[in-house]
A and B are shown apart, each in its own frame.
Chain A
């Protein structure tokens, strides 16, 4: 690393256009961000010239931007020059050699979630040759997907194998200069997932990053692009309920979804990054830009998210309802405990006629956590008969937590109907009393009530996910009552 940084220092200040050469054999770059680093990443990944240009353009724009401060979050200053923007996938020897070396707290959580031993090793980053089950599963899956014509691969592979698709859709939903974190991601993203569902195909299975083994080290700047061609259908699962081990504090991902005519995309997320300890020390910063473009008529995009992890979450999965009769949905459960902070919500931009959107957001805030719902429903002049229904409820546990709601509604069409409702309260004493009186322990009673509170969202999750999410909720809120 040190030799490398010297090299980098030599190179800083040299103009990229004047034929800069970098050592693409090295595995990591020194902390810092400049055009050389971006060129290095691009070269390392053997990217075509246009993609490098695209990255550099994003970077140049990023330089003119400032950290957003409008969110209801208390973020310590982030030194973007102190981050290393590229490191090659870790060699097995670097990780813990057996489960004995893993943080016992992490193992305890795995135990509670009922995760098999092999998978535990995989999740904790233990050096195993491969996760036996997953490999076989993945191989079978790959064959099935190929038969259907579905492309599901890492972003780097997509750039190599399907450059025309990537070029056509990359940045078409979230432009490189969209916002501070999206611009940063566009400049330095290292990998991610790419999905293409051809015309008329119903993806034969639920796609999950969990099974895509080579994605285990996509790093902190992940880029996901999903394109559903005409009349296709896909359900995509991101993340997993088990806490992931990760050394990177800052995560700035970008997810772009494109739904063409009659296509449907269902995107489910369970996010459970390390939230920091009970004193608010450490934890992941999760600053994600997620946006879907319902480009074709009758298209549909549905976002479902369960957010329990991260010290700070800044995330607004949105839908641009461009096609006539298109539908956007947002179902969210966000849980914050201890010193966690979350500012999350959605945007529904109605442009086409007869477009519909539904927003159901459930927030649970415990101990000293602060949580905000921030949403925008915009009905443009052209969106005749647009319809939106929004409901966001917050549950408070503990007298020092906070729950906030900032919904923006902008309506410019008289035939549109927009409704917003929100409530904030604590767990009803009478509900609790009812359970206790029937011999249910307080902790279980709270769990039950909280799960009931979130039911509307959980029922949108794929079945296995829903079961795990319920368990996860209980674990996250452990110790929040009593």
Chain B
């Protein structure tokens, strides 16, 4: 009955003892046995009600080194880089770290940015201590079988440690690039970011398909914020339209820390993003913004969850979707206010634009509240472009196609306009206009 996972079990054997630390092997093994037990989730589970993972389960992906044989030229990478942005950059090709293309020199003393596999293999007791303390502590293997699968295959990924009172001025840009290889492959990037007290950093995770290859990205990111730490996090998902993407972001927040998540989903044939924020001390706050644009037969599922574990914590969330073709999008936002967590403010909003009669949106904003001194709200809408607005533009001699594109752009821009980091904002605006018909015309309109 579990033939779907046999391939993963075989590949796990081949991983061997690449990293010999005792605690780490234990982590991997227990995650694997958990995955073995549960297998892939079924749509009978409430958490996966609208997303069928069969397409991923029934394919055979290679999880091991065969994927390394692909080479990518500097030009290809340049094409997807932030051109003028001065940043630290890590490049992964088909899930494997490329030292050659990465730029992580000139870091402040004490700051570590490294490939996860290298960090784990290094004999550095201080580092090992931190890894042991934080790795696999915030992403719960029991919540999603995909997280368990990722934990079993931890190898490459990004490890960042920002010490106390350190502000990293330059953003950290991570490029996960994928390209056709001999066999369809699965990559399990694992990122761990440990932010010390009063530290600050900006992180951009890019998942980019360079062609229309068939592969499976199963990423997990864990973030730990010490008191008063600030992190801005951007995830830009532009996987190939034949690729599967499962992404899991887990944040644990201490006193007065602040996390800002921006998740933009444009590519992939079957995509699932999970974001889980845990506000574990007073004064912690999280902002979650998201935009998904789907077309053809794409399926994009966004699940978010915020746990208000302590009093005086705040969360706000704004997700928007534009659906075209025969695509389907799912949104599930959950806010849980735990007992005795008073003085909470939590707001959540999800708006969807249906551009086609064959598209489908399933949205479920949830509130679960066990305390009384709270201000919580949520809203969800699904609809089409406002006819009055269309008429207004048409009456000013703008043809219907352009008017529609303009209004669609304006709808999506509601999420982008809140992005505080300008280079990312500009790039996203460019990308989003590119997804619309009459891109050139809109650029003329919006760039004056």
Contacts and interface: CB of A to CB of B under 8 A. Distances in A.
B374 A396 contact: yes
Interface stretch (B106-114, B203-211, B365-373, B425-433): B365-373
Contacts, number: 117
Contacts of B366: 404-407
B361 A423 contact: no
B379 A422 contact: yes
Given A404-B369, A407-B364, 5 more contacts: A401-B372, A405-B366, A422-B377, A422-B379, A424-B367
B365 A422 contact: yes
Nearest to A415: B384
Interface string A3-39: 0000000000000000000000000000000000000
Contacts of A413: 354, 357
Contacts of A414: 354-357, 359, 384
A394 B369 contact: yes
Contacts of B339: 399-400
A407 B354 CA distance: 19
Interface residues of B, number: 36
Main SS at interface, chain A = strand
B373 A420 contact: no
Contact of A405 (B352, B359, B378, B383): B378
B443 interface: no
Contacts of B342: 399
A394 B381 CA distance: 20
A397 interface: yes
A393 B380 CA distance: 14
Interface string A415-430: 1111111111110000
Contact of A420 (B365, B371, B384): B365
Interface string B374-400: 111111111110000000000000000
B307 interface: no
Contacts of A402: 368-370
B46 interface: yes
Nearest to A385: B384
Nearest to A378: B362
B141 interface: no
A425 B375 CA distance: 5
B222 interface: no
A405 B382 CA distance: 18
A398 B372 contact: yes
B223 to A, nearest CB: 28
B200 interface: no
Given A397-B372, A399-B342, A422-B377, A416 B354 contact: yes
A199 interface: no
Contact of B360 (A401, A411, A418): A411
A403 interface: yes
B340 interface: yes
Given A418-B381, A420-B381, A409 B364 contact: yes
B363 interface: yes
A393 to B, nearest CB: 9
Given A401-B372, A407-B365, A411-B354, A424 B377 contact: yes
Given A402-B368, A404-B369, A424-B367, A409 B340 contact: no
